[in-house]
Amino acid sequence: MALTEREVLEALSKVLDPELHRDLVSAGMIKDLRVDGANVALKVELTTPACPLKEQIEADVQKALGAIPGIGRIDVAWGAEVRRAAGTNQPAQELVPQVKNIVLVGAGKGGVGKSTVALNIAVSLARCGAKVGLLDADFYGPSIPIMTGVHDRPESKDGRRLAPLRAHGLAVMSIGFLVDPDQALVWRGPMLHGALIQLLRDVDWGELDYLVLDLPPGTGDIPLTLAQQVRSAGVVLVSTPQDVALSDVLKAKMMFDKVGIPVLGLVENMSGFVCPHCQHETAIFDRGGAEKACERLAIPFFGRVPLEPSIREGGDKGEPVASAQPEGAQARAFLEVAKRVAGQLSMRSSTTKLPIFRTGS
């Protein structure tokens, strides 16, 4: 007997997305379903190309379809459509209407590698196939020009909006592209806030799945006001393992809680040094503190990034390790962090307006 679409959808309705905790059918992830006799073809549309659990979903789909009596060939294609996270409010959408998710990267103190993490998360998301931008909002210490190896001046094609520069698969913008690299910005808060709004509103970002925004360190007036002005989908916090850094994470978490911005999770940077000669790992800044902090704060732990010379060297050369050494252990660490960030954003996405499924013509 020939299969029916109803039988196929009933089988797929038992397959859950492990992060969304919804079945694939009701979540609107089944597309282009075709049933030809005993053969089935369909596309599973993930909520991000950086889905951390794609392999599990793929295995579950094959198992569910394979259990249908009399089924023949099963052809499953894969796609991804990033959805706008629920936390991105109307003011942010008006500033950058074609950007689906603004992701802040912040830290309770300086010196923890926040910009390095922000850049490599952005590059890793782009490597997965997402459309990604990176905005350097650390106006007093813009490091993204050096870390991306970009030193050109942005230009305007229409005389109204600047075109972002391109590097490592990213659309990139920084105040460092617009001022002399040796010039110190002696600006008070209102000037910085106005500059940030301009770099969002007056830059032609185009259609982006994620715009990663590298915040200034600390919990003072500038990061607080910037966070309030942007009202992003969420913030990724960065810390090193030692107690003094983790105590500042608590303050940063409290700051973002007060302004209603969800903390997506925490990254432990400079987690341990592995000797390149004997492979012995030394916990220079201690180890495991970030996981304990996550348990205390009830936020996800996104993973550890090692203290490794190639990460620092890549930043100095303008070659982030996520793109320069994509198969290396350091790049894999950043990729896992990026996937977990994308997964958290997918969990916060709104699916109410999506169709349940679309059959093929």
19 and 95 inside one domain:
no
Q: Looking at residue 13, which CATH number applies to its domain?
A: 3.30.300.130
Q: Is residue 354 part of a domain?
A: no
What domain range includes position 270?
90-347
| 305: Cβ contacts below 8 Å, ≥ 6 apart | 113, 117, 267, 268, 269, 270, 271, 311, 330, 333, 334, 337
pLDDT for res 187 = 64
pLDDT for res 352 = 35
pLDDT for res 88 = 53
Alpha carbons 212 and 171: distance in angstroms, whole number: 10
Closest among 177, 117, 189, 109 to 145, alpha carbons compared:
177
Q: Looking at residue 332, which CATH number applies to its domain?
A: 3.40.50.300
201 and 327 inside one domain:
yes
182 and 295 inside one domain:
yes
247 and 121 inside one domain:
yes
36 and 103 inside one domain:
no
Q: Are strands 39-46 and 30-36 parallel, antiparallel or unpaired?
A: antiparallel
187 and 326 inside one domain:
yes
Please count the structural domains in the chain: 2
184 and 50 inside one domain:
no
pLDDT for res 216 = 86
pLDDT for res 360 = 43
Q: What is the DSSP string of 265-312?
A: EEEE-S--EE-TTT--EE-TT-SSHHHHHHHHHT--EEEE----HHHH
Q: Is residue 358 part of a domain?
A: no
pLDDT for res 222 = 67
pLDDT for res 123 = 98
Q: Is residue 176 part of a domain?
A: yes
CA 95 to chain centre: 19
pLDDT for res 354 = 38
Alpha carbons 85 and 261: distance in angstroms, whole number: 12
pLDDT for res 291 = 84
158 and 176 inside one domain:
yes
Q: Is residue 60 part of a domain?
A: yes
Q: Is residue 359 part of a domain?
A: no
Q: Is residue 352 part of a domain?
A: no
Closest among 22, 131, 17, 21 to 82, alpha carbons compared:
131
Exposed, middle or buried, 225 (CB in 10 Å: 0-12/13-18/19+)?
middle
140 and 234 inside one domain:
yes
171 and 310 inside one domain:
yes
29 and 115 inside one domain:
no
CB 118 within 8 A of CB 210: no
Please say which residue of 55, 81, 107 terminates a domain.
81
pLDDT for res 32 = 95
pLDDT for res 158 = 85
215: which strand partners? none
53 and 194 inside one domain:
no
Q: Is residue 121 part of a domain?
A: yes
Can you list the residues of the chain whose pLDDT is less than 70? 1, 86-93, 182-190, 221-223, 226, 231, 350-361
Q: Is residue 245 part of a domain?
A: yes
